Amino acid sequence: MPKFFLVFALLMVGSTAAMAEQQHGGTDAEQKACARDVTRHCRKLMDQGDFAILACLQENRAKLSKACAQVLANHGQ
């Protein structure tokens, strides 16, 4: 599960606020917004790294909760 939280650090690269958040992988709200979607749609990929999880979330965008889809959109994903 720790790799899941690193995905949000990758999503947020580029902004000053994001650099501060990288230390713990996104805000608590962002983590909560996508935690269920990752376990529901990307469970098999959780040990394959952050980019695999991000790709999985993008591939399953139509199935994501509104909150998680908004997190991705907010970060240009």
Higher pLDDT, 62 or 5: 62
Between 54 and 63, name the one with better pLDDT: 63
C-beta separation of 45 from 56 below 8 A: yes
Q: What is the pLDDT of residues 22-33, one digit of tens each?
A: 433 568 898 899
The total number of structural domains in the chain stands at 1
Kindly tell me if the per-residue pLDDT of 68 is higher than 90.
Answer: yes
CA triplet 60, 33, 47: central angle to 5 degrees?
A: 60
| Residues of the domain holding 25 | 2-74
